[in-house]
């Protein structure tokens, strides 16, 4: 069992990030656990408000402050707990060892600087190079994300680029620090479908070349199927199921996962009626006694409403939080 000796690239254990507002304390991330090995892509799937983005920002200590705070849990990056690191220590990780790509490339890029300028800034911050070498490196990064005419496009402004090209520029910036982990928060949501496919295969290609670990936040199962090796499904601030992508589609365990998959529409045939989950996700401010999915779950019984389910192991790396799997 030599594989077990190597610590995972990222391991988040029972992470709790709470938000503090006038309405009280909101448990936005309420004990989330997931892990990722080098070269792997983990899909963090959930609806808006499930805490998936906040969990990712917490990894880099970029959760909004003072509105939110990590109140418990561990974030182990190659065995080092990032929660305990000081702001100064974290700066070495941000962009360097762990990079972040956000949803909307138009807001991530500064409209008054050329794309070359913005990539070079990242190059300069992470590597000591001469000006000329910085420029060469910038052009090289643009080429790696398949921007044609990188030599001239390095002088272009973001508005001169299409949405897909902008997102590739953002990825080039992310790669500038030679990261080991890439956190991508819904990077394809703002892109058109045909562009989406091209962007995903670019990510795959970069991952294969660099051995990057990727945490891919999304709510789209079509994207999960295309890019992820493993999936962590989040609901109400917790990971309710962790499994491999193949297993997820073959036999989803948690009723929420199952319901979500059933509501996906496949364009190859037309259903007469869509499967839908009744009700709404719970508010992060409401105190839940039992399982947070119980009010919407078709299998729920009295126990589900009263006691929170434990996390049950269903395979070497798979787990589910549901009473149905407690024997």
Partner 1 sequence: MNDVPILAADRLRKQYGRHDRERSNVFAVDDVSVSLFPKETLALVGESGSGKTTTARMLLWLLRPTSGSINFEGIDLANATRTQMRRYRSSVQAVFQDPSSSLNPRMRIRDIIAEPLAVNGCPRKDIESRVREAIKDVGLDADAIDSFPHEFSGGQRQRIAIARAVVMRPRVIVLDEPVSALDVSIRAQIMNLLQDLQGFLEVSYLLISHDLATVRFLATRLAVMHQGRIVEEGDSETVFNHPRHDYTQALIAAARFVRPNDRALQSS
Q: Is beta strand 213-218 parallel, antiparallel or unpaired with respect to 238-244?
A: unpaired
Regarding 22 and contact with partner 1 (CB under 8 A), the answer is: no
SS3 assignment, position 15? strand
**Residue 202 binds partner 1, judged by CB under 8 A:** no
Residue 89 binds to partner 1 (criterion: CB under 8 A):
no
Q: Is 201 in the site for partner 1 (CB under 8 A)?
A: no
Q: Where are the beta strands (DSSP E) in 62-172?
A: 68-77, 80-81, 98-101
Contact 224, 43 (CB under 8 A): yes
Using the rule CB under 8 A, give the single segment among 35-43, 123-131, 245-253, 316-324 that binds partner 1.
Answer: 245-253
CA angle 90, 203, 186 (to 5 degrees): 65
Nearer Cβ to partner 1, position 96 or 163?
163
Strands 319-321 and 311-313: antiparallel
263 binds partner 1 (CB under 8 A): yes
Stretch that binds partner 1, among 142-150, 173-181, 246-254, 300-308 (CB under 8 A): 246-254
Our CB check for partner 1 shows the closer of 90 and 222 to be 222
DSSP 259-279: HHHHTPPPTTS--SS-----S
Q: The sheet that has 80-81: what strands, in order across it?
A: 24-36, 10-21, 68-77, 80-81
208 part of the interface to partner 1, by CB under 8 A = no
Does residue number 264 form part of the binding site for partner 1 (CB under 8 A)?
A: yes
Q: Which stretch binds partner 1 (CB under 8 A): 60-68, 202-210, 266-274, 307-315?
A: 266-274
Residue ranges in contact with partner 1 by CB under 8 A: 47-48, 163, 192-197, 219-222, 225-226, 245-246, 249-250, 259-260, 263-268, 270-271, 273-278, 280-281
């Amino acid at each position: 069992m030599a594989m077990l000796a190597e610590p995972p690239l990222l391991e988040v254990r029972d992470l709790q990030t709470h938000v503090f507002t006038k309405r009280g304390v909101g448990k936005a991330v309420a004990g989330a656990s997931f892990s990722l090995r080098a070269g792997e892509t983990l899909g963090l799937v959930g609806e808006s408000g499930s805490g998936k983005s906040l969990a990712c920002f917490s990894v880099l200590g970029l959760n909004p402050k003072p509105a939110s705070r990590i109140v418990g849990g561990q974030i182990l990056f190659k065995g080092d707990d990032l929660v305990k690191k000081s702001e100064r220590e974290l700066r070495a990780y941000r962009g360097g060892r762990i990079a972040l790509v956000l949803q909307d490339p138009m807001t991530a890029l500064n409209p008054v600087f050329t794309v070359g300028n913005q990539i070079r800034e990242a190059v300069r911050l992470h590597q000591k190079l001469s000006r000329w070498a910085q420029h060469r490196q910038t052009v090289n990064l643009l080429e790696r994300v398949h921007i044609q005419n990188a030599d001239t496009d390095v002088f272009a402004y973001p508005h001169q680029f299409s949405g897909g090209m902008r997102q590739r520029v953002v990825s080039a910036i992310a790669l500038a620090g030679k990261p080991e982990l890439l956190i991508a928060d819904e990077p394809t949501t703002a892109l058109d479908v045909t562009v989406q496919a091209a962007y995903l295969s670019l990510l795959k290609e970069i991952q294969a070349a660099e051995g990057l670990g990727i945490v891919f936040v999304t709510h789209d199962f079509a994207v999960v199927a295309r890019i992820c090796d493993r999936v962590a499904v989040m609901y109400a601030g917790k990971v309710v199921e962790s499994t491999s992508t193949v297993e997820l589609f073959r036999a989803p365990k948690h009723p929420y996962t199952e319901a979500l998959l059933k509501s996906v529409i496949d364009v190859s045939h037309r259903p007469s009626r869509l499967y839908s989950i009744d009700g709404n996700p719970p508010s992060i401010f409401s105190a839940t006694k039992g399982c947070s999915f119980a009010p919407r779950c078709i299998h729920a019984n009295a126990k589900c409403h009263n006691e929170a389910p434990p996390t049950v192991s269903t395979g070497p790396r798979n787990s589910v939080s549901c009473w149905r799997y407690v024997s």
